[in-house]
């Protein structure tokens, strides 16, 4: 990798870190639930709302990139993200948090749609999967730090300007500003695409069997990701009577192992076929889901959460890179469709919320298990090379 490539990757890695801000919604929804006295179904509206916007904005972002370019689109996403992080500084009411999480979801939808194909302007071919995995590693750092920062804010003896756990927002807001400045001054030459497509042509790509299967795979991946993020603490509170502050470590544990999985995956995918590593990752998650149905000891539950974190860490970059490489002349449009699949972050938490209200957290685990089984099927369609 050349020195110029490394220098160009630095601001992109800051952007990947900013991309991880969306995962704060998991622990934040638990704090909002406690602050406002909400039910599981009501609290799960927040992560569902965040990922609802992926359904609305992903494909339009793919079209927008054809007109203003990928870099400018990423900059736009960072500005929206910045605004979303400013709002909670002024209050913690239900309305403010709804607007904040909505803008966070909109900004992240735009960012994920544009940042991943922007990376393909610098890294190409089969190395793209491992490079996207490293970006996910950086993203995961922001994800697993969020519960710690929120917990520190909620329990810190030093002044947090009355924000409490919400001190998380201004901390990440500063990093968003750095990402905007660094990317803004970095020149990136963008490749030309086929003739710009409209909305109809973009959605028509779902008629391609592999693109549709990949879209559904992304839905399952993010559903498991957001589901574990929000459900892991609830399982510990339900089965071991932990407090939210104690159980919040489960979310960090998930992201620690997801981060480690991304780091190791970036190297493993450069040596092992995507299909082999994908299969191993899915088997890890399937074993963990089985364990979460039956285990009621802290260590066993922690092991299961760790396995899900490690297994789910490399699902997205493999599916995303496979989809991009299958249609190299339509990267913007394919990216929009794949990121629209993050709408699974809306579908899964809603279903899990109703299931857990009905039969306890085992119901939420059952919903996630269905997603893991689909990914097992998807493994058979990945290219062996």
Q: How confident is the model over 318-362, as pLDDT tens digits?
A: 898 889 888 877 888 888 888 888 777 778 888 888 898 888 888
Average pLDDT along the chain: 85
pLDDT in tens, 225-244: 888 988 888 899 888 888 87
Asked if pLDDT for residue 47 goes beyond 90, the answer is no
Q: How confident is the model at residue 157 (pLDDT cuts 50, 70, 90)?
A: low
Torsion of CA 238, 240, 242, 246, to 10 degrees: -110
Average pLDDT over residues 40-60: 80
- Spatial separation of the C-alpha atoms in residues 384 and 85, rounded to whole Å: 42
- Any idea which residue has 């559903």 for tokens? 223
Tell me the angle at which helices 45-68 and 94-119 cross, rounded to the nearest 10 degrees: 40
- Any idea which residue has 């900013």 for tokens? 18
- Spatial separation of the C-alpha atoms in residues 37 and 253, rounded to whole Å: 26
| Region for 194 from its dihedrals, namely left if φ exceeds 0, alpha if ψ lies in -120 to 50, beta otherwise | beta
Asked if pLDDT for residue 121 goes beyond 90, the answer is no
Q: Are 80 and 22 a contacting pair, CB within 8 Å?
A: no
Q: State the number of CA atoms in the 13 A half-sphere of 22 facing the CB.
A: 33
- Spatial separation of the C-alpha atoms in residues 321 and 333, rounded to whole Å: 13
Torsion of CA 372, 378, 384, 385, to 10 degrees: -90
- Spatial separation of the C-alpha atoms in residues 103 and 276, rounded to whole Å: 38
């Amino acid at each position: 990798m050349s020195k110029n490539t490394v220098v160009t990757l630095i601001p992109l890695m800051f952007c990947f870190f900013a991309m991880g801000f969306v995962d704060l919604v998991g622990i934040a929804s638990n704090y909002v639930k406690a602050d406002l006295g909400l039910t599981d179904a009501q609290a799960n509206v927040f992560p569902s709302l965040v990922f609802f916007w992926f359904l609305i904005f992903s494909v339009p972002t793919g079209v927008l990139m054809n007109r203003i370019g990928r870099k400018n689109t990423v900059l736009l996403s960072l500005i929206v993200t910045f605004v979303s992080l400013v709002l909670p500084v002024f209050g913690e009411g239900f309305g403010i948090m709804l607007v904040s999480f909505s803008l966070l979801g909109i900004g992240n939808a735009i960012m994920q749609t544009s940042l991943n194909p922007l990376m393909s302007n610098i890294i190409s071919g089969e190395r793209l999967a491992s490079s996207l995995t490293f970006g996910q590693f950086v993203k995961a750092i922001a994800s697993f730090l969020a519960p710690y920062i929120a917990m520190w804010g909620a329990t810190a003896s030093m002044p947090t300007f009355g924000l409490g756990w919400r001190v998380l927002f201004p901390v990440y807001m500063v990093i968003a500003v750095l990402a905007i400045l660094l990317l803004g001054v970095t020149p990136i030459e963008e490749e030309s695409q086929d003739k710009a497509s409209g909305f109809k042509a973009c959605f028509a790509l779902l008629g391609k069997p592999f693109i549709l299967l990949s879209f559904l795979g992304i839905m399952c991946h993010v559903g498991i990701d957001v589901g574990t993020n929000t459900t892991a603490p609830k399982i510990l509170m339900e089965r071991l009577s932990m407090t939210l502050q104690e159980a919040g470590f489960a979310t960090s544990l998930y992201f620690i192992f997801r981060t480690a999985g991304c780091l190791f995956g970036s190297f493993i995918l450069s040596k092992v076929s995507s299909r082999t590593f994908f299969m191993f990752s899915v088997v890890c998650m399937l074993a963990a889901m089985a364990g979460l149905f039956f285990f009621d000891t802290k260590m066993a539950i922690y092991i299961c959460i760790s396995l899900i974190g490690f297994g789910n860490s490399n699902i997205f970059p493999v599916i995303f890179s496979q989809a991009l490489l299958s249609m190299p002349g339509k990267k913007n449009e394919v990216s929009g469709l794949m990121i629209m699949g993050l709408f699974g972050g809306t579908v899964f938490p809603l279903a899990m919320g109703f299931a857990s209200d009905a039969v306890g957290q085992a119901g939420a685990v059952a919903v996630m298990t269905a997603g893991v089984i689909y990914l097992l099927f998807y493994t058979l369609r990945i290219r062996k090379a």
